[in-house]
Structure 1
């Protein structure tokens, strides 16, 4: 059976501690006085909060002690619901030091989604920023310990409650925390990341400590991050890319995280200029918003160096870069804590072009025939299956045999092939998952929500290509006879029920006779996608 393997994991350079708590202590010792975090809580015109690595470690330690004092033990699941702010970073590592398991929550969740994830994850403690943008997260949250959230024992909000939580841990001795941290192993549960998949509900991806720490050390090396790096990102930390590629990698490199709680293009441009950011991360639609902003032309972005020449940043008049750096030759998933294949970002442009990298140390990859399941040779296209040191332990509350095949490989639902140089080429999704603006959107989740729309008999969601978002969500809907339903009505119905990025950009009203069904009465997605594209083109 053909298996494409990377070098032995033991051959990978630059790998340090493989527990999240040990990782923080190692980088804090190495870079104690360097700046780790810069945060402007009231915008660029207000005061700035700056933490050193030693200060970050102190805050994480205080949070860990507070958790121990609150009864958090080994394996307790602690949910974290905040924007990209210093407390998020300190809490992530504080939870790990205490031996607990972090459940980072999506700040775009509406109340039903939040309730589902809190219940499904068995979170015992919720640490929350009560308000963010238009959200008041506690306004409709069910009582802790009630029938809707039976395992949730306590909710602590930033502010007075947060201060009280921390103060209660001040009597916990260093020796107790050190003993707890020493019992955390790389194989222990560390992190549950919820991601939309091909099911109606978000799936909880359970990772051991080794996965995010290995990726942090690895990204720092592959992205060529040095201690003078200053990173800004629009990626939220509750997603794998934000956690590993941004937060973890920057700290592994000894750099500074320039935090923006939520993305706003004007404020982002001010931060990029004033904080002399060197390494920015944003999705294409966010880059478009930056470039379209009135301040774009007047901002000095000359400190940027880890940018691609053909992107908005690379085209800025104050930025002067060649095609010498790009992270695009890479492939991964939430289930693999990001990358399983990659090339160094400064590899020659010719090596990076038209492929998604080489298999990384410790990883194994197969290309499976979609019909027979047999492993294919180089040059043959099929479904990508992966195994390796950063592969998830499994989905929460799902049996292992439903997650992995009998050889331990995870079937990704992605299509691709491996060329004669052992480089992976990812060619798209084999499933119907919609990838829009960097987020995964489950069509089934949208469709099941619209089942409750009183004016619709059917609603199907598909992804159509978009120049900056990758794909946009489009819903094809069939109205009940005698009901008048329009595009805005469908979108309005979804608001408050699902996260804003899942709400369709376009809604196409079709007749039932327009839908082509399979023998088991399922809608043919490929024909539905073509129908939606044609009808939108005709408008």
Structure 2
């Protein structure tokens, strides 16, 4: 057939696309189980699951979900559990049966989890036996499966054994069929359910493997040090796709000595974490003596890493750092700074979060949605296949978050002439002092160059004269002595006068989210509480 005889695309007879069907995400597990049936897939303490066992357990649970529990395509299943093999089994089983995975942050209160059940419209609950109050708060659902016991609901393990050897009807899915409700961290209000789809997530897995961890093989091993409910769960999906062993911490307690021991024992090559956890690892004495030579990719995300912490990590771990910038709504895939662009010396890229991810377009835009010139600050916006389908049942948030097809991240920053991006801070973090914009991250970077300071957060606080002024909440290094006067002297000449904090507050630690991230909302709440109670220390 030559060009002259080709039918016109989009006519009634040949409306495109012909098909939007895509692979069910649970197929990644099947593929690895076929290639590597007797190799180890999951490790937790003394427990070991081979790929064949992982696949068989997932098949059995998926069959039970369909035949005994009545799960239908599109039904949402909420999970309240700390990391364990059964949590990963349940995730793949829900997908295989056609359901939507709705993982909660297991450190949330029962009331917060109950809200997520209501907001997502979940019909079922997978709950660890350690959380009876959470299960009770969720009320009567279609079913409740209990991990690690059957004090309430039905034992997930017993149900799996009942259906071992049975095969489910693997759900047929389209590109835009939801597979995961990824709840935002709720730093500016109640968490919203970001709808992730089968087609989107297949792209993200491919993109992560290309941009973050090229060359993974079954010889690799991945250590999980963050909750599987969010970014770590996405990361582990990529490991399953390549037949990489997943090593879970033996308990929910984070312990650097255990981390180092597991890296050495399993020759761990990939870790996904956040800057605050990475900082804890590299500053711990155990990291100086442990065998960490197997590490190839230590991936950090969730927040920018301060330059001083970045240099320390490179000194301890070597050239293995990978940074990515992203949000749950874009499943992390906005920019990447790969290993070869991390440097302990100032090389002209200091402070960058990298360049646009493969297949994504990133722009810095003004308030009208126009792209600004390189070097000018604006809002970072993104479009591409990694962008989510929108917030579930939240048209107002969708209208605010999308403009002309671009997702608005709410992060401020700029791009240089070579296409490298620099984050200034959250749009909500910027404050105006005496008519001038102040971006807290710039001030925080300068404060952290003082050798006595371990952590810092700068916030804009009300001021009758200037409108807002900066307060710097500082955490001194262990054993260090530093005064507000010392810090003011250290900053003199390094920042414009209007950017200098008007008050320095010393705390023993900064409050952090369940994912180990420093959030300005929590710090502001704590500041206000201490001010009201008279506990603030200046």
**TM-score clears 0.5:** yes
Partner of 1:77: 76
Choose from 19, 28, 35 the match for 1:30.
35
**2:325 maps to 1:331:** yes
Deviation at 1:139, TM superposition (A): 6.1
What secondary structure sits across from 1:395 in the alignment?
Answer: coil
**2:196 maps to 1:207:** yes
The 8 Å contact of residues 66 and 167 in structure 1, kept in 2 or not, is answered as no
**2:89 maps to 1:63:** no
Question: Following the alignment from structure 1 to structure 2, what is the Cα–Cα distance between the partners of residues 340 and 510?
Answer: 37
Deviation at 1:429, TM superposition (A): 1.2
Question: Following the alignment from structure 2 to structure 1, what is the Cα–Cα distance between the partners of residues 94 and 338?
Answer: 31
Root mean square deviation of aligned Cα = 3.8
Q: What are the superposed Cα offsets for residues 216-235 of structure 1, whole Å, 9 maximum, x if unpaired?
A: 22222322223221111312
Pick closer, same or farther for the CA change 1:61–1:383 going to 2, 3 Å: same
Q: Which segment is superposed worse, 287-296 or 191-200? A: 287-296
TM-score, normalization: structure 2?
0.69
**2:29 maps to 1:39:** no
**Unmatched segments (≥5 aa) in structure 2:** 1-21, 300-308, 431-439, 463-506
Deviation at 1:474, TM superposition (A): 8.3
Partner of 1:272: 263
Partner of 1:281: 272
Choose from 232, 235, 244 the match for 2:234.
244
Pick closer, same or farther for the CA change 1:426–1:30 going to 2, 3 Å: farther
Paired residues in the alignment total 425
Pick closer, same or farther for the CA change 1:409–1:314 going to 2, 3 Å: closer
**2:297 maps to 1:302:** no
Deviation at 1:428, TM superposition (A): 1.8
Partner of 2:205: 216
Partner of 2:87: 88
Pick closer, same or farther for the CA change 1:302–1:143 going to 2, 3 Å: closer
Pick closer, same or farther for the CA change 1:104–1:120 going to 2, 3 Å: same
**Unmatched segments (≥5 aa) in structure 1:** 1-16, 41-47, 146-151, 434-461, 478-490, 513-531
Q: What are the superposed Cα offsets for residues 75-112 of structure 1, whole Å, 9 maximum, x if unpaired?
A: 01011122221111111111100000000110110122
Choose from 373, 384, 393 the match for 2:389.
393
Partner of 1:529: none
What secondary structure sits across from 1:356 in the alignment?
Answer: strand
What secondary structure sits across from 2:260 in the alignment?
Answer: helix
Question: Following the alignment from structure 1 to structure 2, what is the Cα–Cα distance between the partners of residues 313 and 423?
Answer: 22
> Pairwise mapping of residues 115-154 of structure 1 onto structure 2 (< 5 A)?
115-131=114-130, 136-138=131-133, 141-142=136-137, 144-145=139-140, 152-154=141-143
Deviation at 1:257, TM superposition (A): 0.9
Deviation at 1:294, TM superposition (A): 6.0
> Pairwise mapping of residues 66-465 of structure 1 onto structure 2 (< 5 A)?
66-68=64-66, 69-131=68-130, 136-138=131-133, 141-142=136-137, 144-145=139-140, 152-158=141-147, 159-160=149-150, 161-167=155-161, 169-170=163-164, 174=167, 177-178=168-169, 181-222=170-211, 223-224=213-214, 225-239=216-230, 241-245=231-235, 247-260=236-249, 261-262=251-252, 263-291=254-282, 293=284, 295-307=286-298, 314-316=314-316, 321=318, 323=319, 325-328=320-323, 330-342=324-336, 344-346=338-340, 354-370=351-367, 372-399=368-395, 401-432=398-429, 465=444
Question: Following the alignment from structure 2 to structure 1, what is the Cα–Cα distance between the partners of residues 234 and 314?
Answer: 24
The 8 Å contact of residues 374 and 417 in structure 2, kept in 1 or not, is answered as yes
The 8 Å contact of residues 25 and 198 in structure 2, kept in 1 or not, is answered as yes
Deviation at 1:343, TM superposition (A): 5.1
TM-score, normalization: structure 1?
0.69
Deviation at 1:206, TM superposition (A): 0.8
Partner of 1:446: none
Pick closer, same or farther for the CA change 1:427–1:35 going to 2, 3 Å: same
Pick closer, same or farther for the CA change 1:127–1:311 going to 2, 3 Å: farther
The 8 Å contact of residues 475 and 507 in structure 1, kept in 2 or not, is answered as no
Deviation at 1:201, TM superposition (A): 0.8
The 8 Å contact of residues 73 and 171 in structure 2, kept in 1 or not, is answered as no
